[in-house]
Each structure stands twice: as C-alpha cells, then as structure tokens.
Amino acid sequence: MLFNIGQQIRQTRKKRKISQAELAKALGMSRTTIGQIENGTVQEIGVRKLIRILEFLGLELRVRSAGQPPTLEELREEEER
C-alpha cells in the first residue's frame, strides 16, 4: 500500500514539475526521506508527515474496504492522471 502511495506522490510531484529537493525543503523534510517514500522503502513514516506531503501536492488519503473494486469516481480520477 505504501508503495502505491509513493508512486502516486512521485507521479504528481513530477507532473507539477517539483523536484524532490524542492518538496523536501517546502515541508522541512530531507530529500532522502521523500525519495524513500516515493520508492516504498521508507522504514517508518508518521501519518501527519504523509498527510502534509499529500496536502502540499493536492492529494488526499482515502480509506475503503480491502478487496473492494474501485468506485466510478476513482476510475475517473485514474483516467485523468
């Protein structure tokens, strides 16, 4: 799951033409941490830190039951990316 979140963060960051260093500086984090989050290799990340990254990039974290098919809204959003 964290790997998928990291991929979305990377994709959105690149779409907005923001470097890892710029994102890290804006949020008071290290570039290494941003890279580890994007690669899904971060050992531990707090929810508040993750939410700060998502909010900065205009993303949100959603919770749904495991194994559920995506909603129509989620499919539309995926198409837009």
Report the CATH number at residue 8: 1.10.260.40
Q: Which domain holds residue 57?
A: 2-80
pLDDT for the residue 29: 94
**For the segment 11-68, what is each residue's pLDDT rounded down to a tens digit?**
999 999 999 999 999 999 999 999 999 998 988 888 999 999 999 999 988 887 888 8
DSSP annotation of 28 reads T
* Total number of domains constituting the chain: 1
Q: How many CB atoms lie within 10 A of CB 63?
A: 4
Both tokens of 17, joined, read 């033409």
Residue whose token pair is 């900065």:
56
pLDDT for the residue 21: 97
pLDDT for the residue 81: 64
pLDDT for the residue 17: 97
pLDDT for the residue 2: 79
Residue 58 phi/psi, 5-degree rounding, is 75, 30
Could you list the beta-strand ranges (E) of 13-76: none
